[in-house]
């Protein structure tokens, strides 16, 4: 029974990978990903809160990630950084257009713009730290704990942006900002989860 179940899920994984490969055909892969490389991403993504988002954002990097959990975490940090940067740019533009009045909406937008700028800096620092993890267990552990701290702070800042709109009456701007933050939060949360999983594998 157990064998049957795992055979079924294995073929499910394969067919999903094949389906995705065919729908994303034409993507600039370093080279066509092998099924074990995509399996690694699919399996690792199960430990995240948004496994589908995890897989769809990382699938195209499978040739670079191979079976390396640190590259996996780094790739999602990279996705989170470009997502957060784009979001910060959007909010800052809205904030400039909204003028400088003190309506709850304008205040929420200004605050969101400020905390998103911080989130971008924190994710950026995390990316740099991941690029120079070093080799000794101690060094890797120390740097990963920095990354965990910064990515958690980034996630908190993204939440703070949304919380700031709590008392703002429903409208176009509130809906648009809160909608867009959802996607950024998903990849940020996933990146943190992948860092946590990797940190768990490092020996003292
Ligand atoms: C908005 O509030 C800030 C800080 O409370 C104040 O300095 C500023 O003059 C206010 N702007 C307007 C347009 O009322
Ligand atoms: C990350 O930080 C560096 C400076 O250390 C800066 O040049 C770069 O533009 C930043 N990247 C993003 C996406 O904010
Ligand atoms: C600009 C950018 O990186 N956008 C991505 C944000 O995350 C979603 C998935 O949650 C991607 O589909 C976007 O391409």
Q: What are the boundaries of each domain within the chain? A: 2-200
Q: Given this model, what pLDDT does residue 204 score?
A: 63
Selected from 1.20.140.40, 1.20.120.530, 2.60.450.10, 3.90.1150.10, the CATH number assigned to the domain covering 2-200 reads 1.20.140.40
101 lines ligand 1 (CB under 6 A): yes
Of 13-27, 68-82, 122-136, 189-203, the one with minimum mean pLDDT is 13-27
Tens digit of each residue's pLDDT (9 = 90 or more) over 92-151: 999 998 867 899 999 999 999 999 999 999 999 999 999 999 877 778 999 999 999 999
Of all atoms in ligand 1, which is nearest to the CA of residue 100? Answer: 13
Neighbours of 71 (CB within 10 A): 16
Q: Given this model, what pLDDT does residue 11 score?
A: 46
Of 5-19, 48-62, 117-131, 190-204, the one with minimum mean pLDDT is 5-19
Contact 123, 155 (CB under 8 A): no
Contacts of 203 by beta carbon, 8 Å cutoff, 6+ apart: 137
Q: Given this model, what pLDDT does residue 33 score?
A: 63
Q: pTM of the full predicted structure? A: 0.82
Of all atoms in ligand 1, which is nearest to the CA of residue 102? Answer: 1
19 or 61, higher pLDDT: 61
83 lines ligand 3 (CB under 6 A): yes
Of all atoms in ligand 2, which is nearest to the CA of residue 127? Answer: 1
Q: Given this model, what pLDDT does residue 100 score?
A: 78
**Backbone angle region of 33, left / alpha / beta, with phi > 0 → left and psi within -120 to 50 → alpha:** beta
Torsions phi, psi of 160, nearest 5?
-60, -40
């Amino acid at each position: 029974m157990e064998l049957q179940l795992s055979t079924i899920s294995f073929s499910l994984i394969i067919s999903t990978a094949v389906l995705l490969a065919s729908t994303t055909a034409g993507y600039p892969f370093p080279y066509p990903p092998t099924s074990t490389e995509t399996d690694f991403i699919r399996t690792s993504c199960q430990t995240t809160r948004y496994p589908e988002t995890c897989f769809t954002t990382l699938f195209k990097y499978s040739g670079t990630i191979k079976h390396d959990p640190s590259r996996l975490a780094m790739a999602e940090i990279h996705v989170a950084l470009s997502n957060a940067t784009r979001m910060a740019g959007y909010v800052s533009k809205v904030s400039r257009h909204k003028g400088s009045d003190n309506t709850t909406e304008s205040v929420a937008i200004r605050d969101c713009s400020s905390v998103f700028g911080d989130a971008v800096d924190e994710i950026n620092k995390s990316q740099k730290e991941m690029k120079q993890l070093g080799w000794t267990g101690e060094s890797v552990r120390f740097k990963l704990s920095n990354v965990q701290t910064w990515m958690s702070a980034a996630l908190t800042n993204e939440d703070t942006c949304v919380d700031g709109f709590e008392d703002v009456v429903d409208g176009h701007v509130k809906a648009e900002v809160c909608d867009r933050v959802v996607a950024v939060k998903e990849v940020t949360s996933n990146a943190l989860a992948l860092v946590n999983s990797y940190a768990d594998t490092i020996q003292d």
